Amino acid sequence: MTDISLSNSARDLWEKDRAHLMHPWSNLAAAKDEGSLIIAKGSGVHIEDAEGKRYLDAVGGLWCTNIGLGRNEMAEAIAEQVRTLAYCNPFVDIGSAPAAELAARIAQVAPGSINRVIFTTGGSSANETAFRIINFYNRTRGKPEKRHILVRRQSYHGSTLLTSSLTGKDQIPEFEYLRDFIHFLSAPNPYRAPDGMDEAAFGDYLIDEFQAKIDDIGAENVAAFFAEPIQGAGGVIVAPEGYLKRAWEICRKNDILFVADEVVTGFGRLGHWFASLSEFGIQPDIIASAKGLTAGYLPLGACLYTDELHEAMLQGSLEGFFGHGYTYGAHPVSCVAGLKVMEILEREAIFDHVNDVGPYFMKRLHSLDGLPIVGNVRGKKLMGGVEFVQNRATKALFPEELNIGKQVANKAEALGLMVRPIVHLNIMSPALTISRDEIDFVVDTLGASIKAVADDLVRDGVKVD
C-alpha cells in the first residue's frame, strides 16, 4: 500500500489541477475556464478518467505508449532497478549497467555506423544534443562557418529555445526565437501542393527549392538538415515518394549532415526500429529518439550518431572535451524501462503486427474520405491524420476560431475515443498493439463524430461545401 494520498474525488482533482498546474502547450484562458480532464488509469490501448469513464486512446499518450499501458513486467523491471540502483551519476567517467546495456542494444538496431548514443531526457534534448554534436564537429574540423540549419515548415522538433526555433509551426508572438542561422523550406504536404501540381511534380519542386536554398546560403555554410521522416505534430505529413532520399543525397554531396528526428517514427510506429533506412532508404548521420524508446513508461531520449562523427570529434581541443549532458540523461531506471520495451517489442513481434494492422488502419481511415468537411485523410501505418476543410473543392479551411479539430475531438471524447486535435486536424498514433476490432472502433467513432459536427455546423448556419 502506498502512503502517498491521492484524492479520489474527481472534482477535487479537477480544482487542484486548474488552480495550480500549468499544462504544456495549454491555452491559458481556456484552461482557466474549463480546466482539464484528469486521467486515472490505463491498460493496453485504453485509459480511464477520474470519474471512471473509459476511452480508447488513439493518441497513444503523446505518440508514445507504443507497447500499451499497464504492463506488469514493466512495473516489475522498473521496481527492481529502483531497489538496486535508483540513480547513478552519468557524468564524465561513471556509468551504470542499464545505460551501457541499452546503448549497446540501440547500436545493434540503429542503421549503418550509428553506434554512439548520448542519452537525454526527451526528444527536445535529443535534438539539442544533435545540434551540439554538429557544432562541435564542424568547429573541430576548422569549419566554424558551417553553422546554418535547414528545416521545414510544419516540422516539430521540441519546445526548448533552440528546438522551438527549429520548429516550423506558427511562431508564438510572445516568445523570442533564434533566427539568424535557421532556414525554412516548404512543408512537403502533397495535399497543399501549389495549384495543379501532382505528387511527382511537387517532389521535384521541393527538391529544386532545397538545392536553391543551399546555393543561396552557400553549401560551405550549411551544417545540417533536420527532418522528421514523416512530420507528426505538423499534421502527419507524408512527403512525396522519393523526396526524402533525394534530399538526403543532396546533403551527402554537399557535406551537410542529415539529422533524422525519429522521436515519433522510431521504435515501431512505422513497423521498424527506425524508419529512416527501413522505410525511406536513407542513412542519417544522427538520429534523435525518445517517446517509443521507453513507450511512455519513464522519460528518456537518445541522440544517436555515427562512429565517423565520433572519431572526428575526438580531435577536438581539450582532448575532445564534449561539455554537454544532463543530470537525468542515462537515468538507470529509464534505461531499464528502455531495455524492457525493446525486449517486449521483439518477443511479441510487434513490428510484424504494425506491418499487418498499419495498412488496415490506413484503409479503414480512408473510408472517411467522402464525409462532409473531410478534406484529406493521410498517414502511414499507425500514424494517421484527418484534415477538415470548409470547402472540399477549394480546400479552404474553417475560420480558426471555430476550432474544428477540437469540435470533432470533443464529440469523439463523449463517445469514448481520444484523438488529438490540432487546429483543423485530428491526428492519431495509437499503441502499436491495437487490434483490428479496436481500429474499427476508432474509425467508426471518428466517422460518427465528424458527421455530428458537420450536422451541427449546418444547423448553426455555417456554410459547408
Among residues 62 and 415, whose Cβ is nearest to ligand PLP? 62
User: Which grid cell is 117?
Assistant: 548514443
Mask 59-78, x = binds ligand PLP (CB under 6 A)?
A: ----x---------------
| Residue with the CB atom nearest ligand PLP in the bound state | 123
> Binder to ligand PLP among 224, 263, 382, 402 (CB under 6 A)?
263
**Per CB under 6 A, does 290 bind ligand PLP?**
yes
* Neighbouring-strand partners of residue 287: 260, 304
Among residues 106 and 233, whose Cβ is nearest to ligand PLP? 233
Contacts for 44 with CB less than 8 Å, ≥ 6 apart: 68, 69, 70, 431, 433
SS3 48: strand
Contacts for 148 with CB less than 8 Å, ≥ 6 apart: 181, 182, 183, 217, 221, 222, 223
> Binder to ligand PLP among 136, 137, 156, 202 (CB under 6 A)?
156
**Per CB under 6 A, does 57 bind ligand PLP?**
no
Shortest distance, position 135 Cβ to ligand PLP, whole Å: 19
SS3 294: coil
**Per CB under 6 A, does 296 bind ligand PLP?**
no
**Per CB under 6 A, does 285 bind ligand PLP?**
no
Shortest distance, position 354 Cβ to ligand PLP, whole Å: 18
What distance in Å separates the CA atoms of residue 449 and residue 259, rounded to the nearest whole number? 38
> Binder to ligand PLP among 99, 129, 227, 261 (CB under 6 A)?
261
Does residue 266 contact residue 275 with C-beta atoms inside 8 Å?
yes
Among residues 233 and 295, whose Cβ is nearest to ligand PLP? 233
| Strands annotated E in 290-409 | 301-306, 374-380, 383-388
What distance in Å separates the CA atoms of residue 385 and residue 428, rounded to the nearest whole number? 6
> Binder to ligand PLP among 123, 271, 385, 430 (CB under 6 A)?
123
Which range, of 155-163, 304-312, 408-416, 427-435, touches ligand PLP by CB under 6 A? 155-163
Q: How long, in residues, is the chain?
A: 465
Which range, of 129-137, 170-178, 228-236, 382-390, touches ligand PLP by CB under 6 A? 228-236
DSSP 8-state symbol, 396: B
**Per CB under 6 A, does 122 bind ligand PLP?**
yes
> Binder to ligand PLP among 264, 345, 377, 431 (CB under 6 A)?
264
Helical (H) or strand (E) element with 318: helix 317-320
Return the number of other C-beta atoms located less than 10 Å from residue 94's C-beta: 9
Among residues 303 and 333, whose Cβ is nearest to ligand PLP? 303
- What distance lies between CA 71 and its chain's CA centroid? 23
**Per CB under 6 A, does 228 bind ligand PLP?**
yes
Tell me whether strands 286-289 and 257-261 are parallel, antiparallel or unpaired: parallel
Interface residues with ligand PLP (CB under 6 A)?
Answer: 63, 122-124, 127, 156-159, 228, 232-233, 261, 263-264, 290
